[in-house]
Chains A and B, each alone.
Chain A
Amino acid sequence: MSLRSQVAWMMRRPNGVVGISLLGLIIILAVIGWLATPYDPLMLSYEDRLAPPSASHWLGTDQFGRDMFSRLVAAAGTSLVVSLLTVTLALVGGTLIGSVSGYLGGWVDRIAMTVNDALMAFPGILLALGIMAVIGPRRYGVVVALGLAYMPNVVRIVRGVVLSVREKEYVEASRALGNSEWYTVLAHVVPGCISALTVIGTAIFGGALLSESALSFLGLGVPPPAPTWGGLLADSTLYMDRAPWLSIFPGLAISVTLLGVNLFGDALRDRFDPRMSRL
Chain B
Amino acid sequence: MLKYITRRLLMTIPTFLIVALVVFTLMRLVPGDPAAVMVGDLDDPTILAQVRRELGLEEPLPQQFAIWLGSVLRGELGQSLMTGEDVLDAMLRRFKVTAQIVMVSVVLAVLVAIPVGLLAAWRQNRTADVITMFLVILAVSVPSFWVGILLILVFGVELGWLPTIGYVSIGENLAEGARYLILPVTALLLGEMASLARMMRSSTIEVLRLEYITHARAKGLSEGVVLWRHALPNAFAPVLTVLGLMLGSLLGGAVVIETVFTLPGLGRFLVDGSYARDYPVVQGTLLLVAAIYVLTNLIVDLLYPLFDPRVRL
Binding site for B on A (CB under 8 A): 114-115, 117-119, 121-127, 129-135, 210, 213-214, 217-220, 233, 236-237, 240-241, 244, 247-248, 250-251, 254-255, 258-259, 261-263, 266, 276, 279
Cβ of B50 within 8 Å of any chain A Cβ, yes or no, is no
- The answer on a CB contact under 8 Å between A279 and B15 is no
- The answer on a CB contact under 8 Å between A118 and B19 is yes
Cβ of B248 within 8 Å of any chain A Cβ, yes or no, is yes
Contact with A along B232-264 (1 / 0, CB 8 A): 000000000000000011011001100110000
User: Which residues on B sit within 8 Å (CB–CB) of A133?
Assistant: 270, 273-274, 277, 279, 282
Number of interface residues of B (CB under 8 A): 51
- The answer on a CB contact under 8 Å between A129 and B275 is no
Q: List 15 A-B contacts (CB under 8 A).
A: A119-B22, A121-B19, A122-B290, A122-B293, A123-B249, A129-B270, A130-B23, A130-B26, A132-B274, A134-B29, A134-B282, A210-B143, A233-B149, A262-B141, A279-B202
Known contacts A119-B22, A122-B19, A130-B26; A247/B270 CB under 8 A: no
Cβ of B271 within 8 Å of any chain A Cβ, yes or no, is yes
Cβ of B18 within 8 Å of any chain A Cβ, yes or no, is yes
A122 to B14, CA, bound (A): 13
Known contacts A122-B19, A122-B293, A123-B252; A217/B29 CB under 8 A: no
Cβ of B110 within 8 Å of any chain A Cβ, yes or no, is no
Q: For residue A254, which residue of chain B has the nearest CB?
A: B143
Cβ of B294 within 8 Å of any chain A Cβ, yes or no, is yes
User: Which residues on A sit within 8 Å (CB–CB) of B99?
Assistant: none
A196 to B243, CA, bound (A): 24
A212 to chain B, nearest CB (A): 11
Other 6 A-B pairs with CB < 8 A, given A123-B293, A133-B273:
A121-B293, A123-B249, A133-B274, A218-B255, A236-B149, A266-B137
Q: For residue B154, which residue of chain A has the nearest CB?
A: A244
A244 to B150, CA, bound (A): 9
A213 to B146, CA, bound (A): 10
Cβ of B138 within 8 Å of any chain A Cβ, yes or no, is yes
Cβ of B178 within 8 Å of any chain A Cβ, yes or no, is no
- The answer on a CB contact under 8 Å between A259 and B141 is yes
Contact with A along B5-29 (1 / 0, CB 8 A): 0000000001101110011001101
A258 to B140, CA, bound (A): 8
- The answer on a CB contact under 8 Å between B18 and A118 is yes
Report whether over half of chain A's contact residues are helix, strand or loop; otherwise say mixed: helix
User: Which residues on B sit within 8 Å (CB–CB) of A254?
Assistant: 143, 146
Q: For residue B297, which residue of chain A has the nearest CB?
A: A121
User: Which residues on A sit within 8 Å (CB–CB) of B137?
Assistant: 259, 262-263, 266
- The answer on a CB contact under 8 Å between B26 and A131 is yes
A277 to chain B, nearest CB (A): 11
Known contacts A214-B143, A263-B137, A276-B202; A240/B153 CB under 8 A: yes
Contacting residue for A218 out of B26, B152, B259, B282, CB 8 A: B259
Contacting residue for A241 out of B157, B274, B279, CB 8 A: B157
A240 to B249, CA, bound (A): 27
Contacting residue for A129 out of B149, B153, B255, CB 8 A: B255
- The answer on a CB contact under 8 Å between B271 and A220 is yes
- The answer on a CB contact under 8 Å between A123 and B289 is yes
B267 to chain A, nearest CB (A): 9
A131 to B206, CA, bound (A): 40
Known contacts A255-B142, A266-B137; A279/B23 CB under 8 A: no
Contact with A along B139-179 (1 / 0, CB 8 A): 01111011001101100010000000000000000000000
A137 to chain B, nearest CB (A): 9
User: Which residues on A sit within 8 Å (CB–CB) of B271?
Assistant: 129, 218, 220
User: Which residues on A sit within 8 Å (CB–CB) of B202?
Assistant: 276, 279
A115 to B30, CA, bound (A): 23
Cβ of B286 within 8 Å of any chain A Cβ, yes or no, is yes
